[in-house]
């Protein structure tokens, strides 16, 4: 990845759903990404984002805390990695539908 590239941005996609890395692990791996030539992170938070208020129901029980998110952003800055949050739109909020059994019919693409 290091060296000349026709692309201005060389991103690493961090998909945080499922088995999200601990912040301590990210502190070890982000310098490696930078050393390999990455200059940005595409972070897909999904339910690991510490949503509050009406959106709190989108948050996983083990979601990152606000201070952990700040630390991830600080580590990215420290390693000269631009952060681009991947924001899910309504068509990709299946993790919300999975939290209720059965999923509300109003959230379905096609009626049951």
CA 8 to chain centre: 22
The DSSP output letter for 64 is: P
| DSSP helix/strand/coil, 37 | coil
Q: What is the pLDDT of residue 90?
A: 60
Residue 31 host element (H or E): helix 23-35
pLDDT tens for the chain, 112 residues long, are: 556 677 789 999 999 987 899 999 999 999 999 999 999 999 999 889 999 998 888 888 899 999 999 999 999 999 999 999 997 666 655 555 555 556 556 655 665 5
The DSSP output letter for 38 is: -
Distances (CA, A) of 76 to 56, 59, 65, 95, 100: 25, 23, 17, 26, 35
Q: At what angle do helices 66-78 and 23-35 cross, to 10 degrees?
A: 20
Q: What is the pLDDT of residue 110?
A: 63
Quick one: tokens of 100? 């209720």
Phi/psi for 102 (5° steps) reads -75, 160
């Amino acid at each position: 990845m290091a060296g000349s590239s026709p692309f201005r941005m060389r991103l690493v996609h961090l998909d945080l759903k499922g088995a999200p890395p601990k912040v301590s692990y990210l502190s070890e791996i982000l310098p490696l990404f930078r050393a390999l030539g990455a200059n940005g992170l595409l972070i897909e938070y999904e339910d690991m984002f510490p949503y509050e208020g009406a959106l709190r129901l989108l948050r996983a029980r083990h979601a990152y805390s606000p201070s952990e998110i700040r630390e991830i952003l600080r580590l990215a800055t420290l390693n000269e990695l631009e952060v681009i949050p991947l924001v899910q739109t309504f068509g990709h909020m299946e993790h919300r539908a999975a939290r209720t059994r059965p999923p509300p019919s109003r959230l379905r693409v096609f009626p049951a």
